Amino acid sequence: MDKFMKQAVELAIENVRNGGQPFGAVLVKNGEVIGEGVNELHIKHDISGHAELLAIRRAQEQLQTNDLSGTAMYASGFPCPMCFAAMNFAGVEKVFYCASLEEAKNVGLGKSALIYEDLQKQPEERELPMVSMELEEEMVNPMKLWKGFSKQ
């Protein structure tokens, strides 16, 4: 097993021993760790406190950039949809993981699998329904406003 994956798994093991979930993550660029994290849901009331997201936040803060091109994430478990999306937005180029969605589901951590399934449905058919609404005519459209500012 790769040394970075060992580190992610060791972080997960330590997190379980400290009352947390079995998730650890290590973000690597050019053979060096630039961020790491464990699920901190048991420490803070923050549902976004996932290992991968914390590794990304720490790396972006340290490097003062949103662009994590050239990086690889090592995660002890298959990333949830939220972490998957964040890695895509940040430019993470490859993800390595150990535990599968099925393994997580078998130990009572199956929400990610359900969300991945739900995302295959039409927005209005999802467990969390999404309803499109139109802006009122007199309102400024923030998307058009941004487009105008982004060209300056």
In a domain, 72, yes or no: yes
Catalytic residue among 14, 32, 36, 52: 52
Identify the helix (H) or strand (E) that includes residue 119.
none
Other Cβ atoms less than 10 A from the Cβ of 88: the count is 10
In this model, does residue 82 exceed pLDDT 90? yes
In a domain, 48, yes or no: yes
User: Is there a contact between 20 and 39 (Cβ–Cβ < 8 Å)?
Assistant: yes
Could you say which DSSP state residue 11 is in? H
Total of domains in the chain: 1
Other Cβ atoms less than 10 A from the Cβ of 137: the count is 5
Provide the mean pLDDT of the chain: 95
- Asked whether the CA dihedral 42, 44, 46, 51 is positive or negative, the reply is negative
In a domain, 69, yes or no: yes
In a domain, 76, yes or no: yes
Host domain of residue 15 = 3-99
Q: What is the mean pLDDT of residues 2-18?
A: 97
Q: pLDDT for 128-149, tens place per residue? A: 988 889 999 999 999 988 888 8
In a domain, 50, yes or no: yes
Q: What is the domain-level CATH number for residue 74?
A: 3.40.140.10
In a domain, 29, yes or no: yes
Q: Catalytic: 52?
A: yes
In this model, does residue 123 exceed pLDDT 70? yes
Report the phi/psi class of residue 74: left, alpha or beta, with left for phi > 0 and alpha for psi in -120 to 50.
Answer: beta
* 59 pLDDT tier (thresholds 50, 70, 90): very high
In a domain, 108, yes or no: no
Question: Position 66: which residue type?
Answer: N
In this model, does residue 150 exceed pLDDT 90? no
Residue 97, CA atoms < 13 Å, CB-side half-sphere: 18
Q: For the CA atoms of 99, 103, 104, 107, what is the dihedral angle to 10 degrees?
A: -130
In a domain, 122, yes or no: no
* Beta strands 32-38; 24-29: pairing state: antiparallel
